[in-house]
Structure formats: structure tokens, C-alpha cells
Structure 1
């Protein structure tokens, strides 16, 4: 008689453990995404200061500066969904790389104490952002694996979970920007 209770109880226990594991991994993905959000907020707060500092030195690079400002405003003001947000952030990375190359042409700007402080802060934020993106991708990888593995895939399907998208950049954005003077 006790065997009749052990099998359903074991099945229920396994389902609860799988359910809790899926919830934990889903929450880890959301936490990692929010940590990217925090780093992006720090970066968008620094950008206007950096742009204003550079504007004083570089009048003819205003197109890049205007593009960065517009993109920053789109990210901050519109609060786009995560897929679009990741795309906009990739574009921001590309433009900031182009801006770095522009700055190299201005020795006085590079020697400016304010610029050096802002540049250092931005580099630190970029490193933290890169680490946050790696953590996000690791969380998405673990979550997606759990969705596909047996028997958790059955519970995931029952819960209506679908795979998450990893942060990636387009091949064209991975190339070094070409800047000519």
C-alpha cells in the first residue's frame, strides 16, 4: 500500500524541483539583464558630459556626437523592449568606438584632466558592461539548456517558457570603425 504513495509523491517532488529550477534560472536571466540596464544607465549618464567636453575641441566631428546624443535619447526616453534595447546598445558601442578614434587626433583634448577623468569613468563602465553582458549570456545559456533538456523541458513547456535571446553584435559592428580626417 505504501508503494502506491511513493511513486506519485516522487513524481510530484521531481516536478517541484524542476519547476523551482526553471524559476531560478528565469530569474537569473532577468537579474543579469537588469545589471546590464544599470551599466547602461551609468554610461548614458556619462555620455553627455563626455560629449560636451569633446564638443569644445572637435567642431567638425559633430555628426558623430549628434548621432551618439540621439541614440542615447532613444534609449533613455523611450525605454525600448529588450530586443530593441540590445540592438540600440550595439549601435552605441560602434559609435563610441568611432568617437575614441576621433579623440586620438586631438592631443590637447587627451591631455585635459576633465576628459581623462570622464574617459577613465567611461572605460570602467564599458568593462563592467562587458562583464554584465557575459553574465547575461551565461544565464541565458543555462536557461535555454534547461528548457531543452529532459525532463525539465516538459515542465518548461507546461509553464509556457520559450528560449531567451543572447546578446550578440552584428558582424559589421564588430569591425573597427573607419575614420578619415
Structure 2
């Protein structure tokens, strides 16, 4: 072997290893970003389910609590605002927080109507909403875990170099605004 080959073979090996690492890191970034998008789609499905349940719940309550019109209209308005928001997770979290507070107010109104609390249709809607809230909470946790992983890759060396080269942006978490709004709206079933 000549001297040039002895020098070029190790340099070529290092370059090949560097290229393999670059491709693997890029693919990992893209995979995590895709998981984040997929988990956001799961949240979107649960939000749409919630949006579909709310008008039925409001219509059922209207039959019993017609004079509580302001609360009912506010919940419908909050639902429409939340359903229309298709921005980033942080932006949607603001509308979802307001909707959760509105639902709590609606369930507080329901507490004053014992016949409504015992109505089979209302109980079924309430149970579906509670299940949806549970699934939504699980989907949020999964989404936020994917955001955390993507952000870690974007922030830590050396993967941050690849993220910067390919303009991979950090994700935003989907979280509620305050501790008071962190609980799912519920009323005791059968009370």
C-alpha cells in the first residue's frame, strides 16, 4: 500500500462513521417529531369527541334548568371557541382551560336539580364526558412525553447540531394554565 492509501482509509472510515451518525440522528429526530404529531392527532380526536358531547349535555340540562341560560350559553360559546382553535398546543391549552372551567360551572348548576342528576340520559352523557376527559388526559401525557423527547434532542449536544442544521423546531407542551384547572370536570354519579 502506498502512503496516500494508508492515510485515506482511516479518514474515509471516520467520514463514513460520521455520515452514519448524522443519518441516524436525523432519522431519530424525524421519528420523534412524527410521534409528536401522531400523539397530537390523538388529542384532537378526544377534543372533537368532547366537543360533540357538550351540546347534548347542554340540551339535556336546558330542559331542567331553563333559567340558567347564561351558564349554558357560556359553555356553548367556550366550546365553539375551543373547537375553532387549531393553533399550537400552548394556544389551544388556554381555550381548553376556559372550557374546563365552564363545564365545572355547568356541573355546579346541575347540583341544584336532583331530578336532572338522576336522569338516565344525563348520567350517560356525564359518564361519556368523564371517560373522554380521562382519555384526553392520557393523550396529553403521551403528547407531552413526545414533546419532551424532541426538546431534549434539540437541546442536547451533539443532536442539537443536527436539529439546527435541518431547522427542527422545539415542540410546545399542552398544559393547563393553573392548578385549579387541572382536574377533570366531574359530578358524583348517582348521588
- For residue 35 of structure 2, what is the aligned residue in structure 1? 28
Superposed structure 1 runs of 4+ greater than 3 Å apart: none
Cα deviation for residue 28 of structure 1 reads 1.1
Structure number, greater radius of gyration: 2
Matched, 1:161 2:168: yes
Partner of 1:4: 11
What is the TM-score when the length of structure 2 is the normalising length? 0.85
1:80: Cα distance to partner?
2.8
Matched residue pairs, number?
176
- State which drifts further: 40-49 or 102-111: 102-111
In structure 2, C-alpha distance between the alignment counterparts of 1:61 and 1:130, rounded to whole Å: 29
Secondary structure, aligned partner of 2:171: coil
Question: Are 1:80 and 2:86 counterparts?
Answer: yes
- 1:175 Cα deviation from its structure 2 partner: 7.8
Question: How many angstroms apart in 2 are the aligned matches of 1:144 and 1:119?
Answer: 37
Q: Once superposed, what is the RMSD of the aligned Cα atoms? A: 1.8
Distance 1:84 1:128, change over 3 A: same
How far apart are residue 107 of structure 1 and its match?
A: 0.9
1:54-101, CA deviations, whole angstroms, 9 ceiling, x for partnerless residues? 01111232222111111222233x343124322211111111122222
Higher relative contact order (CA 8 A, sep 6+): 1
> Equivalent of 2:106, from 99, 112, 117?
99
Distance (whole Å) between structure 2 residues aligned to residue 172 and residue 137 of structure 1: 17
User: Over residues 125-165 of structure 1, what are the superposed CA-to-partner deviations in whole Å (9 max), with x where a residue is unaligned?
Assistant: 01101111111111111111111111100000111122211
Secondary structure of the structure 1 residue equivalent to 2:66:
coil
User: Of 65, 69, 72, which residue of structure 2 is paired with 1:65?
Assistant: 72
Q: TM-score, normalised by structure 1?
A: 0.90
